Chain A
Amino acid sequence: MATVSVRQYHRGGFSFENCKRNALLEADINKLGFSSPAARKTGTTICGVVYKDGVVLGADTRATEGMVVADKNCSKIHYISPNVYCCGAGTAADTEMTTQIISSNLELHSLSTGRLPRVATANRMLKQMLFRYQGYIGAALVLGGVDSTGPQLYSIYPHGSTDKLPYVTMGSGSLAAMAVFEDRYKPNMEEEEAKRLVRDAIAAGIFNDLGSGSNIDLCVITKGKVDYLRPHDVANKKGVRTGNYRYKHGTTGVLTKAVTPLNLEVVEESVQTMDTS
């Protein structure tokens, strides 16, 4: 006899149907002695937006080494030229060195032309270098700046392709940040609105992606002015400890006390201040 089965209409929300199956599979795998693969995050949320007078670049400040946070407050917005800045995601060393190399070459180029460098020039230099290394330089960049042709924003991928867009996100938190942009981006925003939008996009990455965290850095570039806001928002303040493991004086009883003074003669005293700049 044929059984008639009616498919349950699926209401909205997350479907937990496969959780039981996954648990069984996990148990089976563990019985054989293997472990199921763990998700590996590379970290970072970076983004940029073009607004009325210029561009706003944003980045989180967490640098990860596997599953450990290597640097809680690293700077991901790199200087390229006085009017062009670049956020970097991917391998930290690659983004750092690539942006430094192009910054140096762009300064020489600018001295040669006698003009303020253009964002498109930086874009060309970066894409040609990354293509040359066929993706082995793991640098995913968000390049933004204002030049004589206006404000511009580019996203640059490790293999050397670029896209010129009004709003871009990169990094492991890029999907979270892009969700915020797709919801609230409007052309020709005011500065405060644009800064709020970028801040919220990075915050979405920080709170929803394990590889991104700590603070939010912003860089607002307009014609003739750059505001490097680091940190713009301390999204993750270190908590205050509620308890203390220190023992009070007198916890351990003192049985005997012997004091031996050392007679030392001060021969020379010199003070050297530490360079904390």
Chain B
Amino acid sequence: MCVCVCVCVCVLQCCRSAAVCLCSSARRGLSCNGWSGTIMAVEFEGGVVIGADSRTTTGAYIANRVTDKLTPIHERIFCCRSGSAADTQAIADAVTYQLGFHSIELDEAPLVQTAASLFREMCYRYREELMAGIIVAGWDPRRGGQVYTVPVGGMMTRQPVSVGGSGSSYIYGYVDSNYRAGMSKEECLKFTAEALTLAMERDGSSGGVVRLAVVSEQGVERQVILGNQLPKFSTV
């Protein structure tokens, strides 16, 4: 079991020594896979609502139109992945292992902040080699619903609402003007779905279906909003 993680972490070390050729331009090139869309997370009383689009692109071709970017890290902790698919999948797998191990050692549910710290540790240490924008969101008994954002570069900060991915640029205005503290679960779901729909409408790298999840003390409820069921806006 130890071998798995060591491989993952040590090898990223080797990558560092060959770092120059691994600069971002190589990954943004045509042959890379996974330049993904729009992700969002909102805290509410008692939990978090997370959402993402479902498009993964290789250049101009959509490699996967039904991607699930909401990845479970632990029972009540999720991460929303944006950026390079390969990088975020590898990081999420490594953190899932580390958090699972930590949780068994503690014999207790892990804190969302711990998960976010593990992501930050990896994203900051290998910041030159990675292209990963991650939002960590979940519920723990100590601090309730929390959203932590770990953008490219490896910063970590807690925010009540957070958006990420290439499509996020188009919805900062919408999110800033429509977010109110103290929204209910249903209001948060509607807010997230509408924000993601607007981003998918304008961003070429975002599209497909809207995947939503509510993480709370009761557990996880997942839902999918298909293309024809998305909220409609008045732009022609």
Q: A134-B15, A134-B22, A135-B32 are in contact. Are A159 and B64 (CB under 8 A)?
A: no
Q: Is the CB of B7 within 8 A of A127?
A: no
Determine which residue in B11, B22, B26 has the highest number of CB atoms from chain A within 10 A of its CB, and name it.
Answer: B11
Q: Is the CB of B64 within 8 A of A165?
A: yes
Which residues does chain A contribute within 8 Å of B129, judged by CB atoms?
Answer: 134
Q: Is the CB of B66 within 8 A of A165?
A: yes
Give the A-B pair count, Cβ closer than 8 A: 61
Q: A158-B31, A161-B33 are in contact. Are A131 and B86 (CB under 8 A)?
A: yes
- Which B-chain residue is minimally distant from A178 (CB atoms)? B61
Q: Is A163 an interface residue (CB 8 A)?
A: yes
Count B-side interface residues using an 8 Å CB cutoff. Answer: 28
Cross-interface CB contact of B32 among A131, A155, A159, A175, cutoff 8 Å: A159
Q: Is the CB of B11 within 8 A of A132?
A: yes
Q: How far is the CA of A3 from the CA of B189 in the complex (A)?
A: 53
Which residues does chain A contribute within 8 Å of B66, judged by CB atoms?
Answer: 165
Q: Is B117 an interface residue (CB 8 A)?
A: no
Q: Is the CB of B89 within 8 A of A160?
A: yes
Q: Is B8 an interface residue (CB 8 A)?
A: yes
Cross-interface CB contact of A163 among B4, B26, B56, cutoff 8 Å: B56
Q: Is the CB of B33 within 8 A of A128?
A: no
Q: How far is the CA of A160 from the CA of B84 in the complex (A)?
A: 10
Q: Is the CB of A163 within 8 A of B63?
A: yes
A120-140: which residues lie under 8 A (CB-CB) from chain B?
A: 124, 127-128, 130-132, 134-135
Q: How far is the CA of A127 from the CA of B34 in the complex (A)?
A: 14
Q: Is the CB of A128 within 8 A of B85?
A: no
- Which B-chain residue is minimally distant from A124 (CB atoms)? B93
B57-81: which residues lie under 8 A (CB-CB) from chain A?
A: 58, 61, 63-64, 66-67
B18-57: which residues lie under 8 A (CB-CB) from chain A?
A: 18, 22, 26-27, 31-34, 56
Q: Is B224 an interface residue (CB 8 A)?
A: no
Q: Is the CB of A159 within 8 A of B11?
A: no
Q: Is B90 an interface residue (CB 8 A)?
A: yes
Which residues does chain A contribute within 8 Å of B58, judged by CB atoms?
Answer: 157
Chain A 134-170: CB-based contact to B (< 8 A → 1; otherwise 0): 1100000000000000000001011111110100000
- Which A-chain residue is minimally distant from B7 (CB atoms)? A128
Q: Is the CB of A132 within 8 A of B33?
A: no
- Which A-chain residue is minimally distant from B61 (CB atoms)? A175
Q: Is the CB of B15 within 8 A of A157?
A: no
Q: A134-B22, A165-B64 are in contact. Are A159 and B8 (CB under 8 A)?
A: no
Q: How far is the CB of B82 from chain A (nearest CB, A)?
A: 13
Q: How far is the CB of A80 from chain B (nearest CB, A)?
A: 19
Which residues does chain A contribute within 8 Å of B93, judged by CB atoms?
Answer: 124, 128
Q: Is the CB of B7 within 8 A of A159?
A: no
Q: Is the CB of A132 within 8 A of B7?
A: yes
Q: How far is the CB of B181 from chain A (nearest CB, A)?
A: 37
Q: Is the CB of A160 within 8 A of B7?
A: no
Which residues does chain B contribute within 8 Å of A161, judged by CB atoms?
Answer: 33-34, 56, 84-86, 89
Q: How far is the CB of B83 from chain A (nearest CB, A)?
A: 11
Which residues does chain A contribute within 8 Å of B14, judged by CB atoms?
Answer: 132
Q: Is the CB of B89 within 8 A of A127?
A: yes
Q: How far is the CA of A127 from the CA of B67 in the complex (A)?
A: 17
Cross-interface CB contact of A157 among B4, B7, B26, B63, cutoff 8 Å: B63
Which residues does chain A contribute within 8 Å of B90, judged by CB atoms?
Answer: 127-128, 131, 160
Q: How far is the CA of A251 from the CA of B64 in the complex (A)?
A: 66
Q: Is the CB of A159 within 8 A of B15?
A: no
Q: How far is the CB of B109 from chain A (nearest CB, A)?
A: 25
- Which B-chain residue is minimally distant from A170 (CB atoms)? B63
Which residues does chain A contribute within 8 Å of B32, judged by CB atoms?
Answer: 135, 159
Q: Is the CB of A163 within 8 A of B64?
A: yes
Sample (14) of A-B pairs whose CB atoms are under 8 Å apart: A127-B86, A128-B93, A131-B86, A131-B89, A132-B14, A134-B15, A134-B18, A135-B86, A159-B33, A159-B86, A161-B56, A161-B89, A165-B64, A175-B61
* Other A-B pairs, 20, CB within 8 Å; known A132-B7, A135-B31, A157-B34: A127-B89, A127-B90, A128-B7, A131-B89, A131-B90, A132-B11, A132-B14, A134-B15, A134-B18, A135-B27, A135-B32, A157-B33, A157-B86, A159-B32, A159-B85, A159-B86, A161-B84, A161-B86, A163-B63, A163-B67
Q: What 7 A-B pairs come out closest when comparing CB atoms?
A: A161-B85, A159-B86, A161-B86, A157-B33, A160-B86, A132-B11, A163-B64
